[in-house]
Amino acid sequence: MKVLITQEEIKKRVEELAEEIRRKYKGKELVVLILLKGAFVFAADLLRRLEGVEIRCDFIKASSYGTSTESSGNVQLNLLPSLDITGKEVLLVDDILDTGLTLKKVKDWVLEQGAKNCETCVLLDKPERRKVPFKADYTGFEIPNHFVVGYGMDCAERYRHLPYVAILE
């Protein structure tokens, strides 16, 4: 295991992202939808820096069937938020933007529900891996094509608790 992004680097970048989001939504209502499971650590740190935004948060889960490290492209939503998002401004928070298939599917679903708009925030982006065009509105770090774990991200449910992002070799 090789550390790619340290705890300190993550903290500093999360503060910057939160400041950007706070500036945009200060005093406004925002529904934050956290993609399970990988985004829970990132979202917990990010949300605690969004004081002044009227946040309601909920969770959503998407799965794509394939091997553990390769997305099949068949993305299904298997846990839906109970909050009504009709007419709401929504921010989707995910751990990593890879092929883009998951966030595209979830964002399309959010807009189909009648959300007023839907922005996306990801900790990591692997632009080389994209299968569908997708750009997040807020990105923590662009990384090369490695399989990473830690800070919420797993390999067979292990390593989610690590406070840094590491490359699994």
Q: Has 98 been annotated as catalytic? A: yes
Q: Which among Mg ion, ligand 5GP, none contacts residue 100 (Cβ within 5 to 8 A by kind)?
A: ligand 5GP
Distance CA 78, CA 105 (A): 12
Which of Mg ion, ligand 5GP, none does 97 bind, CB closer than 5 to 8 A by kind? ligand 5GP
Number of residues engaging ligand 5GP in binding (CB under 6 A): 18
Residue 117: Cβ-neighbour burial (10 angstroms; 0-12, 13-18, 19+): exposed
Question: Residue 29 Cβ, how far from ligand 5GP at the closest point, in Å?
Answer: 26
153 touches ligand 5GP (CB under 6 A): yes
Window 58 to 97, contacts with ligand 5GP (CB under 6 A): 64, 71, 94-97
- Beta strand ranges found along the chain (DSSP E): 2-5, 29-36, 54-64, 75-79, 89-97, 117-125, 138-142, 148-149, 165-167
User: Rounded to whole angstroms, how far apart are CA atoms 142 and 126?
Assistant: 6
Query: What b/e sequence results for 15-34 when a residue is b if at least 16 CB atoms lie within 10 Å of its CB, and e otherwise?
Result: eebbeebeeebeeeebbbbb
Cα–Cα distance between 120 and 88 in angstroms, integer? 14
Q: Which of 98, 108, 137, 154 is labelled catalytic?
A: 98
Query: Near ligand 5GP by CB under 6 A, which window of 15-23, 45-53, 78-86, 100-108?
Result: 100-108
DSSP state of 46: H
Q: Which stretch binds Mg ion (CB under 5 A): 8-16, 33-41, 49-57, 64-72?
A: 33-41
Specify which residues 133 forms β-bridges with: none
Does the footprint of ligand 5GP cover residue 148 (CB under 6 A)? yes
Active site residues: 98
What residue ranges bind ligand 5GP (CB under 6 A)? 38, 64, 71, 94-102, 147-149, 153-155
What residue ranges bind Mg ion (CB under 5 A)? 38
